[in-house]
């Protein structure tokens, strides 16, 4: 168990909080989606209440180690200040004398924001010198950026070596607690639903969960690589041909275990990759040579939904079809609705596209936990050690 901010005394301490302020900005520099900023409020408000002096740090986009005005966090400080209802001082740099002075002169409960950590080459290189410079700004390091916790960068991991106290904020604690429990002692039946474009992104997750889950339900573009492995005709559907052998192995492994590894029994096929395409649902075992799979079919939806209805723990990562097109969003919608309707179950939706889907479809509030990290939540489910969490102090 890692220490969190509630395990330490922060009064009067300079707390450097690694947050995820990597938000979309429009041409006028307005934040167009403030979900990540809102997610940070509980940790920042708690630290303010406890009289800490708060130094926020984040990356924004990919400036690749040099200052570029378009990637400045200054507009984000303005929006965050409005949400917080308090001034947020904007530093003119990431580290250095003027930044140090600003940090040292913070009063208890005051908040400042460093410039984009990726303006410094040492950030992504996890450079010791830069980690030390960041560490000199503070007495306590708080990591609350789950979305970058799988990266070993200076502000997400390296800094912790040089700060005596390194703990998690509320966002990371919740991610670790809920996903950790689902992996170590899930209430059963434990159902894992995997979709999205590629098998290659989910191989580690499948391997790790074959021993743990009661059901693994497959959908999305990745299903066709498995169909190919079974010798089915897949038409023009997306397929990772170089992963077909691996898909065969995974199917064989699943058969050895007691897990129910399920593929869509029917598929919605279309004559082209467009919402205006002609489409129809059909048996998955032989798709027409000139058609492509775009979604799971209605029979698959009802089979999967019946399993979800009885589940006590569900982890879902990846849409069931091309949900961005309304004609091929039904499979993803049905799964999201079934999950939202099962109020007896711990439901966890991985970040990225499936998180976007449940939010867009209006089910977010009925899901126990929507992860704030796409890549990070996949690595967590693979059972990998995340450097941004590993670096924190143990309880
Ligand atoms: P991922 O990032 O791997 O979770 O994949 C998400 C993407 O997979 C979404 O943009 C979906 O449109 C896409 N996707 C899901 N099913 C299919 C499919 N049958 N054919 C092509 N793309 C798909």
Residue pLDDT, tens place only, 170-190: 999 999 999 999 999 999 999
Nearest to 339 by CA among 376, 366, 370, 302: 366
272 is catalytic: no
257 is catalytic: no
Given the residues 14, 36, 243, 337, the one annotated as active site: 36
Q: Quote the pLDDT of residue 168.
A: 98
Given the residues 169, 297, 352, 374, the one annotated as active site: 352
198 is catalytic: yes
Chain centre to alpha carbon of residue 263: 24
Whether the predicted pLDDT of 352 surpasses 90: no
Whether the predicted pLDDT of 351 surpasses 80: no
Given the residues 198, 310, 364, 366, the one annotated as active site: 198
Question: What is the C-alpha separation between 251 and 199, in angstroms, rounded?
Answer: 13
pLDDT band at 258 (very low <50, low <70, confident <90, very high): confident
Please give the structure tokens belonging to residue 170: 């509320």
Chain centre to alpha carbon of residue 321: 19
Calculate mean pLDDT across residues 354-359. 92
Question: What is the C-alpha separation between 342 and 352, in angstroms, rounded?
Answer: 22
Q: Quote the pLDDT of residue 69.
A: 95
pLDDT band at 192 (very low <50, low <70, confident <90, very high): very high
Question: What is the C-alpha separation between 236 and 287, in angstroms, rounded?
Answer: 9
Mapping DSSP to helix (H, G, I), strand (E, B) and coil, where does residue 349 land? strand
Whether the predicted pLDDT of 6 surpasses 80: yes
Mapping DSSP to helix (H, G, I), strand (E, B) and coil, where does residue 153 land? coil
Residue pLDDT, tens place only, 92-104: 999 999 999 999 9
Q: Quote the pLDDT of residue 161.
A: 98
Helices 170-184, 35-49: inter-axial angle, 10-degree rounding:
110
Pairing of strands 88-90, 140-143: unpaired
pLDDT band at 372 (very low <50, low <70, confident <90, very high): confident
Hunting for tokens 């790790």 — which residue is that? 208
- Helix then strand then coil, in percent of the chain rounded to 5, is 40, 15, 40
Nearest to 73 by CA among 125, 17, 104, 31: 31
Per-residue burial over 181-210, b if 16 or more Cβ lie within 10 Å, else e, is ebbeebeebbbbbbbbbebebbbebbebbb
Of ligand 1's atoms, which has the minimum distance to the CA of residue 237? Answer: 20
Calculate mean pLDDT across residues 284-297. 98
Question: What is the C-alpha separation between 124 and 75, in angstroms, rounded?
Answer: 23
Q: How many CB atoms lie within 10 A of CB 62?
A: 11
| Ligand 1 binding pocket, CB closer than 6 Å | 196-198, 201, 220-221, 238, 293-294, 318-319, 321-322, 324, 352-353
CATH number of 178-381: 3.40.50.1260
Question: What is the C-alpha separation between 270 and 292, in angstroms, rounded?
Answer: 5
Q: Quote the pLDDT of residue 147.
A: 93
Whether the predicted pLDDT of 44 surpasses 90: yes
- Ligand 1 mean position to 333 CA, how many Å? 14
Q: Which of 282, 319, 325, 333 to mutate to test the pocket of ligand 1 (most atoms within 8 A of CB)?
A: 319
pLDDT band at 8 (very low <50, low <70, confident <90, very high): very high
> Can you give 184-211 as a three-state secondary structure string?
HCCCCCEEEEECCCCCCCCHHHHHHHCC
- Ligand 1 mean position to 109 CA, how many Å? 44
Q: Quote the pLDDT of residue 379.
A: 95
Q: Quote the pLDDT of residue 108.
A: 98
Topology of the domain covering 5-171: Rossmann fold (3.40.50)
147 is catalytic: no
Residue pLDDT, tens place only, 116-144: 999 999 999 999 999 999 999 999 999 99
Q: Quote the pLDDT of residue 341.
A: 97
User: For ligand 1, atom 18, which residue shows the shortest CA distance?
Assistant: 221
- Ligand 1 mean position to 145 CA, how many Å? 26
Hunting for tokens 């990371």 — which residue is that? 172
Mapping DSSP to helix (H, G, I), strand (E, B) and coil, where does residue 257 land? coil
Pairing of strands 266-270, 279-283: antiparallel
Calculate mean pLDDT across residues 358-385. 93
> Could you tell me which residues are beta bridge partners of residue 394?
2
Whether the predicted pLDDT of 2 surpasses 80: yes
- Ligand 1 mean position to 328 CA, how many Å? 11
pLDDT band at 374 (very low <50, low <70, confident <90, very high): confident
Burial class (CB in 10 A: 0-12, 13-18, 19+), 107: exposed
- Ligand 1 mean position to 128 CA, how many Å? 39
Please give the structure tokens belonging to residue 98: 């003027």
Question: What is the C-alpha separation between 85 and 173, in angstroms, rounded?
Answer: 25
Calculate mean pLDDT across residues 322-337. 97
Q: Where are the domains of the chain?
A: 5-171, 178-381
């Amino acid at each position: 168990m890692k220490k969190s901010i509630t395990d330490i005394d922060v009064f009067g301490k300079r707390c450097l909080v690694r947050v995820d302020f990597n938000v979309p900005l429009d041409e006028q520099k307005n934040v167009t989606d403030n979900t990540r900023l809102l997610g940070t409020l509980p940790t920042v408000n708690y630290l303010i209440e406890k009289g800490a002096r708060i130094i926020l740090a984040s990356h924004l986009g990919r400036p690749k180690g040099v200052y570029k005005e378009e990637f400045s966090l200054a507009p984000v400080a303005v929006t965050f200040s409005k949400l917080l209802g308090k001034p947020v001082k904007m530093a003119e740099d990431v580290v250095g004398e003027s930044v140090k002075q600003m940090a040292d002169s913070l009063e208890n409960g005051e908040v400042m924001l460093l410039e984009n950590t990726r303006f410094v080459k040492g950030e992504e290189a996890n450079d010791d010198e830069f980690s030390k410079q960041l560490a000199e700004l503070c007495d306590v390091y708080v990591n609350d950026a789950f979305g970058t916790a799988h990266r070993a960068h200076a502000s997400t991991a390296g800094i912790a070596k040089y700060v005596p106290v390194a703990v998690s904020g509320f966002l990371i604690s919740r991610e670790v607690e809920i996903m950790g429990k689902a992996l170590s002692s899930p209430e059963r039946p434990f159902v894992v639903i995997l979709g999205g474009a590629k098998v290659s992104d989910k191989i580690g997750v499948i391997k790790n969960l074959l021993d743990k889950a009661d059901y693994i339900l497959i959908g999305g573009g990745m299903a066709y690589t498995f169909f190919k492995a079974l010798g089915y005709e897949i038409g023009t559907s997306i397929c990772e041909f170089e992963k077909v052998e691996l898909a065969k192995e995974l199917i064989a492994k699943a058969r050895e275990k007691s897990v129910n590894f399920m593929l869509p029994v029917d598929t919605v096929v279309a004559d082209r990759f467009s919402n205006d395409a002609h489409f129809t649902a059909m048996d998955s075992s032989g798709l027409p040579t000139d058609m492509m799979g775009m979604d799971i079919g209605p029979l698959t939806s009802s089979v999967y939904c019946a399993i979800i209805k009885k589940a006590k723990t569900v982890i879902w990562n990846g849409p069931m079809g091309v949900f961005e097109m309304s004609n091929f969003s039904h499979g993803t919608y049905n799964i999201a609705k079934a999950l939202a309707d099962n109020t007896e179950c711990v439901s966890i939706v991985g970040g990225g596209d499936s998180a976007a889907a449940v939010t867009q479809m209006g089910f977010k509030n009925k899901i126990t936990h929507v992860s704030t990290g796409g890549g990070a939540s996949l690595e967590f489910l693979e059972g990998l050690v995340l450097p941004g969490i590993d670096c924190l102090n143990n309880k």
